[in-house]
Amino acid sequence: MRKNIVAGNWKMNKSLQEGLAFAKSLEAALAGKTLKCDVIVGTPFIHLAGVASSVKLGVAAQNCSDKASGAYTGEVSAAMVASTGAKYVILGHSERRTYYGETDAILKEKVLLALANGLSPIFCIGETKDEREKNVHFDVVKKQTVDALFGLSAEDFSKVIIAYEPVWAIGTGLTATSAQAQEMHAYIRKTIAGKYGEVVADNTSILYGGSANGGNAKELFACPDIDGGLIGGASLDVEKFIPVIEGF
């Protein structure tokens, strides 16, 4: 059975002290609630070890290197991420694709290294506004999925969490309608079924990301192919993040 997941993406926000305090207060606020989803916080690298050792929430890095180790100044390897106690790594976020030139070929390497080090990738795919307007959004999302992920064995693929994040909805306040999101999630699941079969596709968690918040999470998460969210802005405040988690 696939899991329901709500994952926060802090991006480049919060000092170490703020991040640790936030994780502890989020955990305290969730204590005693009956959760219908796993909760993950995606922190900057420097927070990973501290957060992973002080709370029981899932912890994700927001990136890892496409190289295993060596003379790559400033890079952080998948093995290093795993050594912090983090279990997940967000890969292919549109901000990394756009600002840091991450291609599907680079992301393929990152995915392989993440999996080889026991991390579950939260793999982001999604079209730009222009691509949606040109009606090529299904092709774009399919190509991103095929090029970076479809070389994996079924066993490895089953450790991947997909996040459909239409680029035009990230941080813009424009959310895909639940009908638009459901349509794309169903398409992604069908694409996965075509490669790995119905069982693997049924067991794949596909999250929605793009201006999701406490006001729209419930409607989005009620869709049959939407298994949770990757949440940016609304994951930065406990009072805003809890209503998203309670969208389930």
**Min. distance of Cβ 47 from ligand PEP in angstroms?**
16
CA–CA distance, 244 with 248 (Å, rounded to integer): 8
- Name the catalytic one among 47, 93, 137, 185: 93
Q: How far apart are CA 29 and CA 112, in angstroms?
A: 35
Nearer Cβ to ligand PEP, position 91 or 231? 231
165 is catalytic: yes
Provide the minimum distance between the beta carbon of 212 and ligand PEP in the complex, in angstroms, as a whole number: 6
- Please, which residue, 50 or 228, has the CB nearer to ligand PEP? 228
Given a contact cutoff of 8 angstroms between Cβ atoms, the answer to whether 204 and 158 are in contact is: yes
A 10 A CB-CB count for 205 gives 21
Q: Which is nearer to ligand PEP, 22 or 196 (CB)?
A: 22
Residue 42 Cβ vs ligand PEP, minimum distance, rounded to whole Å? 8
Q: Are 9 and 17 in contact (CB under 8 A)?
A: no
Residue numbers at the binding site for ligand PEP (CB under 6 A) = 9, 93, 165, 170-171, 209-212, 230-234
Rounded (10°) angle between helices 238-245 and 16-30: 40
Residue 153, exposed/middle/buried by CB under 10 A (0-12, 13-18, 19+)?
Answer: exposed
Active site residue 93: yes
C-beta of 20 vs 176, nearer to ligand PEP: 176
Shortest distance (Å) from residue 216 CB to ligand PEP? 11
Q: Which of 95, 102, 131, 165 is catalytic?
A: 165
Q: How many Cβ atoms are within 10 Å of 105's Cβ, its own excluded?
A: 10
Active site residues: 93, 165
